[in-house]
Structure 1
């Protein structure tokens, strides 16, 4: 294991919870990405890979949605995975009954709490919402399962009302409450304030379900952990509704490398997991996607390549092998002789100093003509140069 972090990181004292729970929702919120629909076999394979990674809980679906969804949830719940299997449920007995019939370990009951949602979506009063919430928690707990209550649009909810809902949820037996930043509308400082206020009121676990509408889901999740939260909702590759959710791979590696928080996960499978989810969802990752993007461990600039060959950590925050990846040197207009030499060594090709200089020159020329320097193109250039010198 090899990585190097800023010495300034060690100067800042931060208080994280003793245990951080990852409850991944790729198969539920991730599947709510427009255009995504996973079949049973695909969900099962993703579940097994998440379990191989070692996440604590997997939210595998919303069983009341359809018979096929119910079948998927039940199949995964009976697969014998180490992770706890959770299902989503509205604050309705029929939803809870359906989830329980699928043999899940627990349910996440959700209900909106903001004035905006109460007025325009639910057409209900705060008292009606509170009663509905508590009735559903009590009903679910009577079945002897894990129960989390998720306040939808919590970050735009009146704080006094939100604290009261969570306190009552704890009294009625909820194992965990979730702060859902449903439209990604909070910033890290506000999240810290909110979670700290909630933590002062309750003793049960606090989960953070963050959306990425402003690119702050990861930062908000970490801020929430520092304020007293101890569970985070994630999705592989950060997929999900609109701009997506807190990316699983980014959270794990940021905690590990930047904050020194090792969740004891099998991180070597992160890239394989990412590729599987990309394949089955057809949601393409950006090439510069942190941790799992195509370009993260690819180098072209001559200055960078020279340094990386000497010591990878000069231009990489950690070795790619940690997450199941490999480094790749890309040839192009910025390539220098050392990068070309490294490529030649890969093929076991010996050249003279003069030939090396000519190969570098031709690689630059070809790329500036709009030709990508694939392995085939490179080998062709080498043959041409060697032929000219015969």
Structure 2
């Protein structure tokens, strides 16, 4: 009998940098506007969490943006601070004035965007890239070239962009799925094809329009990208970006890859960004949502209590969380007994079936879980009812015995 084939997928690169763009691309989410203080605090938290590169903003936007960027630069955080720029002299001059160490010079790569936005053809785009990258490199910047809409661009043109950028002095090229049209398979194919031709590092930048940003990012990394753009909570325009917490946790789980991110810092970082963005975090948000390590189903809880691996793919302690068992419509006697035991109660086996029925009825009526406090109240009430019934039953038996004793002499007469 043939041995089953082992997984032949390439091993995920173990040395990948997650470059955070929460303060630039994340802030482009509708209605999000961070204050200078919030940007400073978020930048400090990102650095403390192990992020090594932060895309801090767009200097050419105006005085307020420039002052904020300068304030972050002045903190001298142990990270590379990058400014996002269009590939124009105006934007580059603003970046020089801001004091950042790195620039991402962005230019459309697809025919659609080159024509509609800039009126350029591919040859004209290559000339602009060569000129602006040389100028930025001469100014002492770490230079990355951003290929906007790379997912819809001609592959040969992308290869020429990479070659031109590298020759002019760029250290990295960013492949952006600007409108979120890739899937993991096409992402892998795109990145793998370009990696073998590229003399410099590639970065993948995903958008979540079809809910595939994190999956596409992992595919890009597995294909050979050494950098990936992420934002905390996947914050970003339209459906958002690849989430820092999802990509970092997934890399740790799948391949034990070390991104340098302190995973236990992610919940606090997510809460901080959610508050600053004035956006509530969904309870089901992977890694950081309130309910993602919460279990109600009786079958699941019974398995978890025997071996946590039965229904737990991501160890919550890895990301600074803990498992939680709640009681609801789908809970069984094992879960109820477990929660009661945490309150110093032992579930009477004779009451187990009735208790399960009572809990399920309450959960259905309230369309909610049953809190531990309420569970104890229900159980204590049921025990009291049982004691009363037992007491009444005992009194009835005594009365019957007494009546029988009184009547016997009469029968003998």
TM-score (norm 1): 0.91
Q: Which residue of 2 aligns with 1:36?
A: 32
Q: Which moved more, 1:260-269 or 1:244-253?
A: 260-269
- Residue in 2 that maps onto 1:291: 287
Give yes or no for the alignment of 1:130 onto 2:126. yes
Cα shift at 1:131: 2.3
Where 1:203 maps in the other structure, the secondary structure is: coil
In the alignment, which residue of structure 1 is the partner of 2:139? 143
**SS, match of residue 67 in structure 2:** helix
Q: 3-state SS of the aligned residue for 1:347?
A: coil
CA distance in 2, matches of 1:9, 1:65: 54
> Contact 1:9–1:259 (CA<8 Å) still a contact in 2?
no
Partner Cα separation in structure 1 for residue 384 and residue 136 of structure 2? 77
Paired residue for 1:83? Answer: 79
Is 1:65 the counterpart of 2:69? The answer is: no
CA apart distance, 1:205: 0.8
Determine the C-alpha separation between the residues in 2 that align with 1:89 and 1:59.
11
1:177 is paired with a residue of what secondary structure?
A: strand
Mean CA deviation greater in 285-294 or 299-308: 285-294
Task: Report the counterpart of residue 378 of structure 2 in structure 1.
Answer: 381
191, 200, 206: which one aligns with 2:202: 206
- Would you say the 8 A contact 2:20–2:53 is kept in 1? yes
Aligned with residue 225 of structure 2, among 201, 225, 229: 229
After TM superposition, give the deviation of residue 310 of structure 1 in Å. 1.7
Q: Distance in 2 between matches of 1:67 and 1:354?
A: 73
Deviations, residues 40-63 of structure 1 (Å, cap 9, x unaligned):
222222222211221221111112
Q: Specify the structure having the higher radius of gyration (Cα).
A: 2
The answer for the alignment partner of 2:252 in structure 1 is: 256
Give the CA deviation at 1:284. 3.1
User: What is the aligned-residue RMSD (CA, Å)?
Assistant: 2.1
Q: CA deviation at 1:217?
A: 1.9
Kindly report which structure 2 residues correspond to 1:352-371, keeping only aligned pairs within 5 A, or say none.
352-371=348-367
Work out whether 1:246 is the aligned partner of 2:242. yes
Could you say if the C-alpha distance between residues 39 and 353 of structure 1 is closer, same or farther in structure 2, counting changes exceeding 3 Å?
same
Unaligned runs of 5+ in 1: 1-7
TM-superposed CA distance for 1:20, in Å, is 0.9
Distance 1:218 1:379 in 2: 42
C-alpha distance in 1 between matches for 2:23 and 2:296: 36
Query: 2:128 and 2:238 mapped to 1: Cα distance?
Result: 28
**Is residue 2:307 matched to residue 1:341?**
no
State whether residues 13 and 257 of structure 2, in contact with CA within 8 Å, keep that contact through their aligned partners in structure 1: no
TM-score using structure 2 length: 0.87
Match of 1:189 in 2: 185
Query: How far apart are residue 359 of structure 1 and its match?
Result: 3.5
For residue 202 of structure 2, give the secondary structure of its aligned residue in structure 1.
Answer: strand
Pick the aligned partner of 2:174 from 171, 178, 182: 178
Change (3 A) 1:305 1:351: closer
Give the Cα separation in 2 of the matches to 1:351 and 1:245.
48
Unaligned segments of structure 2, at least 5 residues:
388-413
Greater share of helix: 2
